[in-house]
Copies of this chain bind each other. A is one copy, B any other.
């Protein structure tokens, strides 16, 4: 693969924080993300080619790289974008189950069904996410926080989560990502993913506050 060496020397806090981004810049960024998602939907990770993303977004290659310092950055940002949509969508129809564990399982299965509709896009995003090295940590962390938020929302807790519950949520996230990967690479069926999600979600109820070890 290309130079995925990455050890960003020049500080380039281009996107997330520092400069407020003019309107045209915001538009460019949005166009790029849209193209990225479109290409990913077609053919997954491999189909997102930087030259094509640039051309199809009406932007020079160098500019694309200024906005997203690598293909993985781009795809992780794309995932952030999609996750935000997902979060809003899910928030509108809260899960119907009673137990927190069952609620989380139900929510994740909804998300999973959404991903099934765009398996290539899912492939691109998840592969990028797990392939990301340290230089993408901040962005990957954002994705992780979004995922955590979705799960915590689904739990429908009254008070704040206990440390044990947070651990369970972490493990659920691990399982979620890894199960997706096995599904995407054809080593696990949809049914198998469902079982894994339901299995791990038992941890939630197991760690409900006011319970024996």
Contacts and interface: CB of A to CB of B under 8 A. Distances in A.
Contact of A175 (B134, B174, B186): B174
Interface in A86-142: 127, 130-134, 136-137, 140-141
A7 to B, nearest CB: 10
Interface string A180-213: 0110011100001001100110110010000000
Given A2-B1, A203-B199, A175 B171 contact: yes
A187 B140 contact: yes
A46 B185 contact: no
B199 A167 contact: yes
- Copies of this chain present in the complex amount to 2
B187 A199 contact: no
Contacts of A206: 202, 206
Contacts of A171: 171, 175, 196, 199-200
A144 interface: yes
A20 to B, nearest CB: 28
Interface string A1-32: 11011000000000000000000000000000
A54 to B, nearest CB: 17
Nearest to A134: B186
Residue from A2, A4, A71, A181 having most chain B Cβ neighbours under 10 A: A181
A137 B187 contact: yes
Contacts of A167: 195-196, 199
Interface in A161-186: 164, 167-168, 170-171, 173-175, 177-179, 181-182, 185-186
Interface of A: 1-2, 4-5, 45-46, 71, 127, 130-134, 136-137, 140-141, 144, 164, 167-168, 170-171, 173-175, 177-179, 181-182, 185-187, 192, 195-196, 199-200, 202-203, 206
